[in-house]
Amino acid sequence: MEKDPDIISIAEYYQKYSNLAIIDVRSPGEFTKGHIPGATNIPLFSDAERAKVGTAYVRQSKEIAMNIGLKIVKPKLEYFIEESEKVAPSGEVVVHCWRGGMRSQSFARHLSENGFHSIRVIEGGYKSFRNYVLHFFEYPFKLTILGGYTGSGKTMILKYLQEQSLQVVDLEGVAHHRGSAFGGIEMGKQPTGEQFENNLFEEMRHLDQNATIWMEDESHHIGSVFIPLGLFKQIEKSEVYFLDIKKEKRAEYLVQEYAGLDKKELALSIRKITKRLGYDRAKKALEYLENNNFYEVAITALTYYDKYYLGGLSLRKSGSVHRLECNEVDTQKNARILLMTASYE
């Protein structure tokens, strides 16, 4: 027996139904720009088809646009069922489109007519999800920030803290970028700015909001993506534990991290910061790279990055930065110093 789909809010979805399969019926282009993590895209229209229907709606009428849409969809009806059964073989599924309108409603009805027994449509669709995400980052979090000049091994320390069952969010991991001009090398393609926020939300929603969450000190942007403003403002106001390690030790660490990477990519990254580094220093760094003198490349680059990071650190509220003198880049040793200091304070 056919049953009308239940309309649920995005809050209800996360409270009760996030364990269910979710189908996003928007076009592939919409899905690529940003989607609910875990959703499967079964598009009602291709990008070109969506544009055709939209143009008819604007330039002609709603009725003509609907007729065009029906002609496009009709040959795909069996395919929709086949793909939906792969995603939700139990017959229980959540569906959404952009605003919870015609696309998701018609798709849900089609599923109901073809054996799916429990279908829920998200009210307001993906748009309501995006509002939910941005509102989430306005919540007050208990953040503790790990700082340190480039090459301090901060990411490895965060990983160690996570292994000790502490709550950690690796912003650079979610962004697929290490944060510097060299940060995108061999990190894969970055998500869109919108999808970065969605993925970050998915990671953080599982955390205990009343317990401490560790993050690395970052500028507002990480490569091409931006930390949500609500969260970034909280990062700026949080306590920072700054690993103070000599440049020479950090350069040695960076050689281990970057020396095996593609030299062409490294050279391109040096050229990206030529203006900031200074023409003469950049030229020298490229010569060092050509001669496989990775240590001097690192020392030269740190001249810029240390100055840049120190400038950002100086803007923080007085007394919120706690310097930890560390003799070397040693993950476990520095993590113990960090935890001892943070616990004491």
Q: Say yes or no: 325 and 191 in one domain.
A: yes
Asked whether residue 158 is assigned to any structural domain, the reply reads yes
**Distance (Å, rounded) from C-alpha 41 to C-alpha 26?**
7
Same-domain pairing of 157 and 122: no
CB 134 within 8 A of CB 122: no
Beta bridge partner(s), residue 145: 215, 240
| Domain end (from 103, 118, 133) | 133
Contact predicate 41/28, CB 8 Å: yes
Residues annotated as part of the active site: 97
Same domain? For 40 and 183 the reply is no
**Co-location of 150 and 277 in the same domain:** yes
Using an 8 Å Cβ cutoff, are 216 and 144 in contact?
no
Domain-embedded: residue 146: yes
In order, the DSSP letters of 81-140 are: HHHHHHH-TTSEEEEE-SSSSHHHHHHHHHHHTTT--EEEEETTHHHHHHHHHHHHTTSP
Question: In this structure, what CATH number is given to the domain that contains residue 36?
Answer: 3.40.250.10
Residue type (1 letter), 18: S
The DSSP bridge pattern shows strands 225-226 and 221-222 to be antiparallel
Report in angstroms the alpha-carbon separations of 181 from 147, 173, 222, 269: 18, 16, 10, 5
Both 56 and 189 in one domain: the answer is no
Q: In the Cβ-directed half-sphere of 261, how many Cα atoms lie within 13 Å?
A: 19
Number of domains, the chain: 2
Handedness of CA 51, 52, 54, 55 (dihedral sign): positive
* 110 belongs to a structural domain: yes
**What is the radius of gyration, based on Cα positions, of the chain?**
25
| Residue 87 bridge partners (DSSP) | none
Specify whether 319 is located in the same domain as 337: yes
Do residue 103 and residue 201 come from a single domain?
no
Please report, to the nearest 10 degrees, the dihedral formed by the alpha carbons of residues 203, 191, 277, 327 taken in order. Answer: 30
- Identify the H or E element spanning 40: strand 40-41
Clarify whether residues 291 and 328 are in a common domain: yes
Length of the chain in residues, anyone?
345
Let me know whether 262 and 229 are in one domain: yes
Residues 6+ apart with CB under 8 A from 313: 147, 217, 240, 242, 321
Whether 19 and 168 map to the same domain: the answer is: no
- Of 239, 225, 122, the residue nearest 183 (C-alpha): 225
Helix 294-313 crosses helix 279-290 at what angle (to 10 degrees)?
140
87 and 225, same domain (yes or no): no
pTM for the structure as a whole: 0.91
State the residue range of the domain holding 75.
6-133
- Domain membership of residue 151 (yes or no) is yes
Residue 316 tokens, joined: 């923080």
Residues 127 and 208 reside in one and the same domain = no
In angstroms, the CA 30 to CA 170 distance is: 27
Q: What is the CATH number of the domain that holds 245?
A: 3.40.50.300
Tell me the one-letter amino acid at 185. I
Spatial distance between the Cα atoms of 230 and 44, rounded to a whole number of angstroms: 34
* pLDDT at residue number 93: 97
Helix (H, G, I), strand (E, B) or coil at 191: coil
Per-residue confidence in pLDDT tens, the chain, 345 aa: 456 788 999 999 999 999 999 999 999 999 999 999 999 999 999 999 999 998 988 899 889 988 998 999 999 999 999 999 999 999 999 999 999 888 999 999 999 999 898 999 999 999 999 999 999 999 999 999 999 999 999 999 999 999 999 999 999 999 998 877 677 766 788 999 999 999 999 999 999 999 999 999 999 999 999 999 999 999 999 999 999 999 999 999 999 888 778 888 889 888 988 888 888 988 999 999 999 999 999 999 898 888 888 887 888 888 899 999 999 999 999 999 999 998 755
Would residue 203 count as lying in a domain?
yes
Is the torsion defined by CA of 150, 153, 157, 163 positive or negative?
positive
